[in-house]
Chains A and B, each alone.
Chain A
Amino acid sequence: MKQNVSREEFLKGIWRDNPVFAQVLGMCPMLAVTNSAINAVAMGMATFFVLVGSSFLVSTFRHVIPKQVRISCFIIIIATFVTIADYTLLALVPGVHKELGAFIPLIVANCLILGRQEAFASRYPTKLAVMDAMGMASGFLLALFSLGAVREILGDGALFGFKLFGENFEPWVIMILPPGGFLTLGVILLFFNWFKTKKDEFLEDVAAAQRSEG
């Protein structure tokens, strides 16, 4: 049973409560850095590290932090992790750091992260909080990657820098420009909402059928 609870906390972030597709949080990095798959993944990994680290600390110290100053404490914790991620990326992968530029420090302001601290990590035991953070961060990473992959394939004819099509492919440049981010995100959100409506209708039908049988 306990196993199931933490698995549930992990899985909900990937699909049902996906931070991007279901909660529409963290739109700023989502649109800004997904012009190539590698940037999207690097951003996703940095966010993963920050979210899991902060959730762990916030949840561990949730009884020590007075609630009057909790938001400031969360921000201090988050900002520390972001700075660590910033310097680590700068030292290890300067190329990627250059592309992501100002958006790494801006992880501090990602409402997804502060939102999880306030809504979940500060109320639940450490293990659940970490599972929740890992689920949400994986969901965010997945969303960034799908957007980045679509935009890079259409806009550059490549994935992770490998050319997928021949020389004759005419890149659809608008896809790696800002409007492409909005277009792709819009189409993906459309699909998610369509799917959710269909699923709700299906569940209603099933419930109705069961009622008439009973």
Chain B
Amino acid sequence: MNATANTANPSSLRLVLTLAIAGLLSGIAIIGIYETTLPTITANKARELREAVLKVLPGVTQMQALVYRDGELVVVASPDKDEPVIYGGHDDQGAFVGYAVPAAGPGFQDTIALLYGYRPGDRQVVGMEILESRETPGLGDKIYKDADFVAEFSALLVDPEIVAVKKGTKTGDNQVDAITGATISAKAVVRIINEAHTEWSTRYPAPGSEPDLMDTEVESSEAQP
């Protein structure tokens, strides 16, 4: 409001104060918007995760988070940050159906994060959903936009390992038809699942002795690749 402030040389104190006040007000505004939107954002993420788990494990209606601690899979209500989590899927009656495993790895342009459903009884991958990717629009993004490619993962044997083959040359139940023009992205998806499976397969308990469904529903844990 001091009209001469712009013309005369203001003191350093005034400069410092101006910036400090601007920073303070800005900080308050940012904290305000963060606090306001946080519940919605957390709810969105939890809903997305839940939808993804239900999608990759057909028949599942309930889920719980599992972590690997002291040599066995245990049910946790709220996993620690940075602790790898997988999700156990159960049907209406509470019977165990399969695991939903988040995994991530390098794609063509950036990290691809995905979730796949695994039924240990059949030793099959039964579903795959891309959670995050920045693959080339029109080519690499077919790993989630091309329904045929996604459907390849609906009954896929994991033994000895999943292999991506040239489109149209699929012969075995452990093979995936790659995408023409997006071979790198398609192979990356297969590699990510293979790596995650190698890591987790030794940790699963024998089929039939999976952790029972607890009453605690998974709350707001983010998918942790």
Q: State the CA gap A88–B22 with chains docked (Å).
A: 22
Asked if A79 contacts B26 (CB within 8 A), the reply is yes
Question: Residues of B contacting A106 with CB < 8 Å?
Answer: none
CB of B172 within 8 A of chain A? no
Contact flag A76-B15 (CB < 8 Å), given A94-B48, A155-B138: no
CB of A87 within 8 A of chain B? yes
Question: Residues of B contacting A63 with CB < 8 Å?
Answer: 1-3, 5-6
Question: Residues of B contacting A66 with CB < 8 Å?
Answer: 5-6, 10, 14-15, 18
CB of A105 within 8 A of chain B? no
Cβ 8 A contact of B19, one of A69, A88, A91: A69
Q: State the CA gap A176–B139 with chains docked (Å).
A: 10
CB of B34 within 8 A of chain A? yes
Q: State the CA gap A173–B3 with chains docked (Å).
A: 58
Question: Residues of B contacting A69 with CB < 8 Å?
Answer: 15, 18-19
Question: Residues of B contacting A101 with CB < 8 Å?
Answer: 134
Chain A residues 77-93 with CB under 8 Å of chain B are 77, 79-80, 83-84, 87-88, 90-92
Nearest CB of chain B from residue A31's CB, rounded to whole Å: 13
Asked if A90 contacts B41 (CB within 8 A), the reply is yes
Asked if B33 contacts A88 (CB within 8 A), the reply is yes
Question: Residues of B contacting A96 with CB < 8 Å?
Answer: none
Q: Which secondary structure dominates where chain B touches chain A?
A: helix
Q: Fill in one digit per residue for B145-184: 1 if any A CB lies within 8 Å of its CB, else 0.
A: 0000000000000000000000000000000000000000
Q: Which residue of B lies closest to A72 (CB)?
A: B19
Nearest CB of chain A from residue B108's CB, rounded to whole Å: 13
Q: Which residue of A lies closest to B12 (CB)?
A: A68
Question: Residues of B contacting A176 with CB < 8 Å?
Answer: 137-138
Question: Residues of A contacting B41 with CB < 8 Å?
Answer: 87, 90-91, 94
Nearest CB of chain B from residue A78's CB, rounded to whole Å: 10
Q: Fill in one digit per residue for A167-178: 1 if any B CB lies within 8 Å of its CB, else 0.
A: 000010100110
Asked if A177 contacts B37 (CB within 8 A), the reply is no
Nearest CB of chain A from residue B11's CB, rounded to whole Å: 9
Q: Which residue of A lies closest to B26 (CB)?
A: A80
Q: Which residue of B lies closest to A122 (CB)?
A: B6
Q: State the CA gap A91–B137 with chains docked (Å).
A: 24
CB of A65 within 8 A of chain B? yes
Q: State the CA gap A171–B142 with chains docked (Å).
A: 14
Asked if A84 contacts B138 (CB within 8 A), the reply is no
Asked if B37 contacts A64 (CB within 8 A), the reply is no
Nearest CB of chain A from residue B126's CB, rounded to whole Å: 25
Question: Residues of A contacting B23 with CB < 8 Å?
Answer: 76
Asked if A77 contacts B5 (CB within 8 A), the reply is no
Nearest CB of chain A from residue B28's CB, rounded to whole Å: 9
Asked if A91 contacts B44 (CB within 8 A), the reply is yes
Q: Which chain A residues have a beta carbon within 8 Å of chain B's beta carbons?
A: 35, 63-69, 72-73, 76-77, 79-80, 83-84, 87-88, 90-92, 94, 98, 101, 155-156, 171, 173, 176-177
Q: Which chain B residues have a beta carbon within 8 Å of chain A's beta carbons?
A: 1-3, 5-6, 10, 14-15, 18-19, 22-23, 25-26, 29-30, 33-34, 36-37, 40-41, 44, 48, 132, 134, 136-139
10 A-B pairs with the lowest CB-CB distances in the bound complex, closest first? A91-B37, A91-B40, A173-B138, A80-B26, A87-B37, A66-B10, A76-B22, A84-B33, A176-B137, A87-B33
Q: Can you list 13 A-B pairs with a CB-CB distance of less than 8 A?
A: A64-B5, A64-B18, A66-B6, A72-B19, A77-B22, A83-B29, A83-B30, A87-B33, A87-B34, A90-B41, A91-B37, A91-B40, A94-B41
Known: A80-B30, A90-B37. 6 other contacts (CB 8 A): A63-B1, A69-B15, A72-B22, A91-B40, A92-B40, A171-B138
